[in-house]
Structure 1
Amino acid sequence: MQSVVIAALIALVFFFNQASAKNLVRVGGYEFPPYIELEHGLAKGLTVELIRQLNQLQQEYVFELILTTPIRRHQDYQQGLFDAIFFEDIAWGWGQRDIAIDNSPAFAKDDEVFIALRSNASSQQWFDDLSGKTIAGILGYHYQLTNYETDPDILADTYRMTLVSNHQASVELVLKERTDSAIVTRSFLYQFLHAYPEKAAQLLISERVDQSYQHQLLIHPEHPLAIDTLYHWVQQLLQQEPLSKEFQRYKLELMPAQPSK
């Protein structure tokens, strides 16, 4: 009996040593549907699924999600709270702040478009000139319309922008006629209208695009996991289910894979 207990203890110690030997990759993420959605305090979405798939694909690294916010993510990264961030763009404040971080080639494309009530906006020409119109946006997000300004006071005073915490709130402000328009991602609109098809007749979606952005993977340059390796793994997963199906569902355009450097 004693030998059995000793063998079990040795196996347990070996298990924990193996687990601790794995390199941890803390992936920062903020509410940004369909990439990250928070429901009753739990995160779901494409980033969560990608993390799960990466952990299944290989055994050397363990990926885990660390929640942050759009406005706090740069500071949290610089303070060492996370190592990497997915579905991000180096142009979203990282390069401007001269933050040391490696970025992959783009692997997916999404757009930000405007919405308005059809009862107020009768045609696409309504979106041509948004001066004088109120607009809902997300706190901490960068918009081409506002020259990528993120200061809430400037956005409110100069661009008549109301800032909320998520796209759902932006859409609801339009539906309740509390703002004239809102900027939302095309991928979120597909998700929203799939859940609430009866709202489609009420909303006019602009052909005008505020900005198209190409999602990248970002990771600390001193992390043991090289950005080229991470990019290769993600490209491998994007060719398989369930990620390929999820990308099709949200009409996300996959970018051609780039060769390793």
Structure 2
Amino acid sequence: MRLVVISTLIFVITLFNPAFSKTLVRVGAYEFPPYIQLEHGLAKGFTVELIHQLNQLQQDYHFELVLTTPVRRHQDYQQGLFDTIFFEDPYWGWVQRSITIDNSPAFAKDDEVFIALRSKAHSEQWFDDLSNKTIAGILGYHYQIANFQTDPALLAEQYQMTLVSDHQASVELVLKGRTDTAIVTRSFLYQYLKQHPGSAEKLLISERIDQSYRHQLLLNPNHELSIETLYLWVRQLLEKEQMHLELQRFGLQLLPSE
């Protein structure tokens, strides 16, 4: 009798909870403002909003956020902890590790720029030669200036890089004079300087770009959802006025449809 009652309850919950009848799509994400930002253990940001909009857009799939880290994301995917990841690039360690994963056309552009204290860097020419300068970056990120290496010991020895956990820590190392420069995404700087307007006059932002991000969607090819459909939905959402304005607010550029 007890088993019958439990089975009936499960059936009723499944019947009246639409999420149970949909195919689950687990979206891997790591702290990477403005796409994912953690505050008191809660995730917010552009990816969270995009997941919400995807669940509103269609009725067959339920998208769910799964937190990972820049260092752990490849292993977590291979272990089946998530199915897809947004605002990513196959060459951020996926191709190098020969990981099987589908990728969409690029849909948004962001840049990594260098910052320094104006009291140290008096002109743009200061950024021309960084070989004798200390640099702050994010653990697990791939930088062109370091030939896309991620090994902390190698980066410290060959490129004088100090690795921290997030962009805010990188900016604060520069502001405190504890590193000469830092590599920060333009989108994060937009956000940071709005929240800390007093820092804008202290910082010189380079015209030099370490690399331009051409953000893509990555998806397990064995998943029921196809990368073509996912890309179509994301494009549809980003072309809506509200989401398009959000992109612009963070200094991101929506790329032409391919």
Query: Does the TM-score normalized on the shorter chain lie above 0.5?
Result: yes
CA contact (8 A) 2:14 2:20 kept: no
What residue number does 2:5 align with? none
Give the match for residue 3 of structure 2. none
- Label 1:101 to 1:201 Cα distance change in 2 as closer, same or farther (>3 A): same
TM alignment of 1:149-228, pairs within 5 A:
149-228=149-228
Provide the secondary structure at the position in 1 that maps to 2:211: strand
C-alpha distance in structure 1 between counterparts of 2:99 and 2:65, whole Å: 21
The alpha carbon displacement at 1:241 in A equals: 4.1
Q: Please, which moves more after superposition, 121-130 or 232-241? A: 232-241
Is 1:74 paired with 2:74? yes
Shift of 1:14: 2.2
What is the correspondence of 1:112-127 to structure 2 with a 5 Å cutoff? 112-127=112-127
Residues 1:14 and 2:15 aligned together: yes
1:97: which partner in 2? Answer: 97
Instruction: Report the count of equivalent residues.
Output: 250
SS of equivalent residue, structure 1 residue 121: coil
* Partner Cα separation in structure 1 for residue 14 and residue 47 of structure 2: 32
Structure 1 counterpart SS, 2:200? helix
Local SS of the residue matching 1:247: helix
Distance 1:13 1:212 in 2: 45
Q: Which residue matches 1:111? A: 111
The CA RMSD measured in Å over matched residues stands at: 1.4
Counterpart Cα distance in 2 of 1:159 and 1:11: 59
d(CA) in 2 for partners of 1:139, 1:149 = 11
**Post-superposition shift, 1:251?**
1.4
SS of the residue corresponding to residue 63 of structure 2 reads strand
Structure 1 stretches of 5 or more lacking a match?
1-7
Structure 2 residues not aligned, in runs of 5+: 1-7
- Asked whether the 8 Å contact 2:86–2:217 carries over to 1, the reply is yes
**In 2: Cα distance, 1:83 partner to 1:242 partner:** 27
CA distances 1:31-82 after superposition (whole Å, capped 9, x unpaired): 0000000000000000000000000000100001000000110000000010
**TM-score scaled by length of structure 1:** 0.93
Give, in angstroms, the shift of residue 239 of structure 1.
Answer: 1.4
Letter aligned with residue 120 of structure 1: K
* Distance apart, 1:213 and its partner CA: 1.4
Where does residue 139 of structure 1 map in the other structure? 139
Displacement of 1:12: 4.6
Runs of 4+ in 1 over 3 A off after TM superposition: 8-13
Question: How far, CA to CA, are the matches of 2:207 and 2:23 in structure 1?
Answer: 45
SS of residue paired to 1:190: helix
Residue 153 of structure 2 aligns to a residue whose secondary structure is helix
CA distance in 2, matches of 1:220, 1:87: 15
Residue 52 of structure 1: aligned partner? 52
In structure 2, C-alpha distance between the alignment counterparts of 1:192 and 1:176, rounded to whole Å: 16
Residue equivalent to 1:4: none
CA distance in 2, matches of 1:96, 1:56: 35
Instruction: Tell me what 1:244 maps to.
Output: 244
Separation in structure 1 between the aligned mates of residue 34 and residue 80 of structure 2, nearest angstrom: 26
Q: Secondary structure at the match of 2:99?
A: coil
Structure 2 SS opposite 1:214: strand
Q: How does 1:228-239 map to 2 (within 5 A)?
A: 228-239=228-239
What residue is the counterpart of 1:255 in the other structure?
255
| C-alpha distance in structure 2 between counterparts of 1:14 and 1:162, whole Å | 53
Is the 2:111–2:211 Cα contact (8 Å) retained in structure 1?
Answer: yes
State the TM-score, normalized to the length of structure 2: 0.94
Q: Secondary structure at the match of 1:136?
A: strand
What is the percentage of aligned positions where both structures have the same residue?
A: 71
Which residue is 2:37 aligned to?
A: 37
Counterpart amino acid of residue 15 in structure 2:
F
CA distance in 2, matches of 1:13, 1:143: 46
